[in-house]
Structure 1
Amino acid sequence: MMKEELLQAIEVGKPVLLVTAIGYIVGIVEAKGELIRLNDVYINCVSASRVNRFSRGLAVNINQVIGMQLLSKSEKDEMIGGWKAYVAPTAG
């Protein structure tokens, strides 16, 4: 996906899944440009088998994005819940 296509598809205020070399990033788009600013961010770091949360937000360089998927709020919540269950199946 080209940078221009990515920026056109992403909507400010909407949930998005970004695929990067480090893992999968889910958050709410706060601003878009060379840096995609997200808030309420979760990163599924596949190689480390852990999910990290960045409640204060995170900026992702658009050049680091391999792919993306627009999400509904319920899809975002289901995805994060699935990640947490996979990484820590006994967590409540």
Structure 2
Amino acid sequence: MTNFSSEQVKEKVVSVLKNYIDPSNKEKEFSMEASLDELGLDSFKAIYLLLDMEEEFQIQIPDSMLSPEIFASPKALQTAIESILAG
């Protein structure tokens, strides 16, 4: 797997996530602790977000990780991806 620094993972997560959040939040700097719900992510968008994250990082997110916690915030998503990348 490709090695990414924590900062690179964060940048990629934010970049992909901006395609799925409420347009009124796109230009704003949002907190990594912000609720993805509040940023406009719904369950339908979450599916496509995961697919795009898998493609971006060339990973597969295991079913065991698919829980509401992974979608709590951008930071939670980043942490999940970093744990997968770490193997």
Q: TM-score, normalised by structure 2?
A: 0.29
Scaled by the length of structure 1, what TM-score is found? 0.27
Which protein shows a greater Rg? Answer: 1
- Choose between structure 1 and 2: higher strand proportion: 1
Task: Return the structure number with greater relative CO, CA threshold 8 A, min gap 6.
Answer: 2
Query: Greater helix share, 1 or 2?
Result: 2
